[in-house]
Amino acid sequence: MNWSNDLNACAAIVERGDPLRFRTAMLAPVAKRGALFALYAFNVEVSRAPWVTSEGMIAEMRLQWWRDVLEEIAAGSTVRRHEVATPLAAAITPDQAKMLDALVAARRWDIYRDAFENEVHLKRYIDQTAGHLMWVAANLLGQAVETPVRRAGFAAGVGAWLRAIPALEAANRVPLLDGTPAGVVALAQQGKDALIQARKDRSQIPRSCAPALLLATAAEPALRAAIKQPQAVVEGALPEVGVGFTLRAATGRW
């Protein structure tokens, strides 16, 4: 993508709102960074939308605006002018727009205070948010096999979710189906197992896709800590990105 003022704005949004993804995007080839910044800025805007107002209807309207943008991209019609929507339309395909629409739809859970219906619902939420995002990002960088990318996305999503538990509970949300230590350990173990399985199939993912998958590596310290000491989840004491992430980022090996 040719660099533009819109992409400068997208990069600034990601740097402020999602500094870890900003770091990983900066590891991508220069020619690919703009597409990642557009995608990740979109994700920042969508993930923020349910939380900028206490009015459910207004939050619904904010998410619907992005669904309308994605519908325009998917239909190949003229996309409304916007500092994020405009470069996003240039970065993704119609099929990717349809997938990202499911990501936006999943974010409706964030608006309300209902618990997840069951384990399937929780896993689907993580897959449609973290998984869809990682799958699109990986395909902006290369051609990968979907299953290992989605497993890595699930691991990244679980790690991020466990770190967010204290803030979600403070906002009167019900983020866990089973908030007991055993329930926390089980979810973290699922995330860790998904990462292990993804790495077994690493050969199916080109090294060019590594910047997109480093989010799974970043989640690893939190997953390990939650398994060992589940109380750290509710205490907000999970470790942040560790030395392992820096080393893997330097070698391009997630």
pLDDT digits (tens, 9 = 90+) for 2-51: 789 999 999 999 999 999 999 999 999 999 999 999 999 999 999 999 99
Q: Which residues contact 161 (CB under 8 A, 6 or more apart)?
A: 126, 175, 187
Q: What is the domain partition of the chain in residue ranges? A: 1-112, 114-254
Three-class DSSP labels, the chain: CCCCHHHHHHHHHHHHHCHHHHHHHCCCCHHHHHHHHHHHHHHHHHHHHHHCCCCHHHHHHHHHHHHHHHHHHHHCCCCCCCCCHHHHHHHCCHHHHHHHHHHHHHHHHHCCCCCCCCHHHHHHHHHHHHHHHHHHHHHHHCCCCHHHHHHHHHHHHHHHHHHHHHHHHHCCCCCCCCCCHHHHHHHHHHHHHHHHHHHHCHHHCCHHHHHHHHHHHHHHHHHHHHHHCCHHHHCCCCCCCCHHHHHHHHHCCC
Question: What is the residue-level pLDDT of the chain in tens, covering all 254 positions?
Answer: 778 999 999 999 999 999 999 999 999 999 999 999 999 999 999 999 999 998 999 999 999 999 999 999 999 999 999 999 999 999 999 999 999 999 999 999 999 999 999 999 999 999 999 999 999 999 999 999 999 999 999 999 999 999 999 999 999 999 999 999 999 999 999 999 999 999 999 999 999 999 999 999 999 999 999 999 999 999 999 998 866 787 777 787 89
Q: Which of 198, 89, 210 is nearest to 147 (CA)?
A: 198
